[in-house]
């Protein structure tokens, strides 16, 4: 099978360098890349019929005449950040978006052409946990899932909470159907296929909440560890975001060990600081690439006891997520729009 052809065209050669490097790095050996920086050569190149999978072109080089060619997808790099998304197979992209954002848009629109050719990357597991109740870890985990999905990633959210009330932020608030008990009892090699019909999507994928403690419906918590492993092996998702409960048992320890990233949610008060210090006595968090400390519900006008503590000097806060004023109309989008959540989604994408 021929490799897909990507043509990158802009007379600003300096601008194209980082985008060219990103495409080369991510699609090395999986796609052919042609870069055009001379306007005369661009005109001559398209003087004869062309078959191109992806054309990424600056708006001053783009014209409707290009539509006579066999081009599967056209991305026009625009100077103006307008809401006009384009038409048909023409997608408009703000030229000065980050290289990563532009790349994500290109891959998302071309997933059937490029991803079928590219070597599929391993699914990453992100665990969100905390030492204290009420820290907002479930909200952070769901908002992070939404943020990653906005960056065109396929995300599966799984909650390990004993009592699952996360449906508050979902459009479909119904629990998992009773039949899931039988599906969850399937052998590990068939577990994902058995559970898949119950998975829902609201921008990102998620296993709906159980109406009762899973032990009361005949399951044990080992089910979660098997499900995370089965979902990872399926390679259906870019990320699996796991929201863990406070109890620290073998299942949670195993998932944390298997995780690529562990986001430790802390608050800025003394109680949270003391409980976090106790928690990390039972977890080796010295791998700073894997363990990321995030301060949630942050209030700048309030004293930050965490950073003034000995543990705060040892485990530095990587991101702050501002507290939202409580009101009845809070939505998950409100949280996903917070700068701290967007930063995490961008860094992890």
Residue ranges of domains in the chain, CATH in brackets: 5-115 (3.40.50.10850), 124-348 (3.40.50.300)
Rg (CA), the chain: 23
At 100-126, the pLDDT tens digits run 888 888 888 776 665 544 445 789 999
pLDDT (average), residues 45-50 = 91
CA angle, 145 then 151 then 154, to 5°: 55
Please give the pLDDT value at position 114.
59
Please give the pLDDT value at position 118.
47
Please give the pLDDT value at position 246.
67
Please give the pLDDT value at position 159.
92
8-state DSSP, 208 = P
Q: DSSP readout, 95-148?
A: TTS-HHHHHHHHHHHTIIIIITTSPPPPPEEEEEEESSTTS-HHHHHHHHHHHH
Please give the pLDDT value at position 317.
94
What is the distance between the alpha carbons of residues 201 and 107, in angstroms, rounded to a whole number? 20
pLDDT (average), residues 164-192 = 84
HSE value, Cβ hemisphere, 13 Å, CA-based, for 205:
16
pLDDT (average), residues 226-255 = 87
Residue pair 164/210 in contact by the 8 Å Cβ criterion? yes
Please give the pLDDT value at position 329.
67
Name which residue leads in pLDDT, 6 or 213: 6
Residue pair 8/19 in contact by the 8 Å Cβ criterion? yes
CB atoms within 10 A of CB 28: 11
């Amino acid at each position: 099978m021929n490799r897909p052809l990507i043509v990158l065209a802009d007379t600003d050669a300096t601008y194209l360098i980082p985008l060219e490097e990103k495409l080369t790095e991510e699609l090395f050996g999986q796609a052919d890349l042609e870069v055009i920086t001379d306007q005369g050569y661009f005109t001559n190149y398209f003087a004869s019929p062309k078959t191109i999978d992806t054309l990424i072109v600056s708006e001053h080089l783009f014209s409707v005449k290009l539509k006579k060619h066999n081009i599967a997808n056209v991305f026009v790099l625009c100077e103006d950040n307008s809401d006009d998304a384009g038409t048909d197979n023409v997608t408009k992209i703000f030229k000065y978006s980050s290289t990563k954002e532009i790349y994500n848009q290109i891959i998302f629109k071309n997933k059937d052409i490029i991803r079928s050719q590219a070597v599929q990357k391993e699914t990453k597991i992100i665990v969100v946990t905390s030492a204290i109740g009420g820290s907002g870890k479930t909200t952070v985990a769901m908002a992070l899932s939404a943020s990653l999905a906005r960056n065109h990633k396929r995300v599966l959210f799984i909650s390990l909470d004993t009592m699952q009330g996360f449906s508050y932020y979902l459009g479909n608030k119904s629990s998992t159907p009773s039949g899931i008990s039988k599906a969850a009892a399937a052998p590990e090699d068939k577990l994902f296929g058995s559970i898949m019909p119950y998975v829902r999507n609201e921008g990102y994928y998620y296993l709906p909440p159980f109406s009762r403690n899973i032990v009361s419906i005949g399951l044990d918590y080992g089910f979660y560890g098997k499900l995370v492993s089965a979902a990872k092996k399926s390679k259906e998702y870019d990320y699996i975001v796991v929201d863990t409960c406070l109890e620290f048992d073998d299942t949670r320890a195993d998932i944390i060990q298997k995780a690529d990233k562990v986001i430790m949610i802390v608050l800025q008060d003394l109680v949270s600081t003391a409980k976090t210090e106790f928690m990390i006595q039972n977890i080796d968090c010295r791998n700073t690439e894997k363990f990321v400390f995030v301060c949630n519900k942050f209030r700048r006008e309030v004293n930050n006891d965490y950073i003034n503590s000995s543990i705060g000097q040892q485990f530095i806060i990587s991101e702050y997520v501002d507290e939202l004023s409580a009101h009845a109309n809070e939505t998950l989008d409100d949280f996903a729009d917070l700068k701290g959540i967007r930063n995490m989604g961008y860094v992890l994408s």
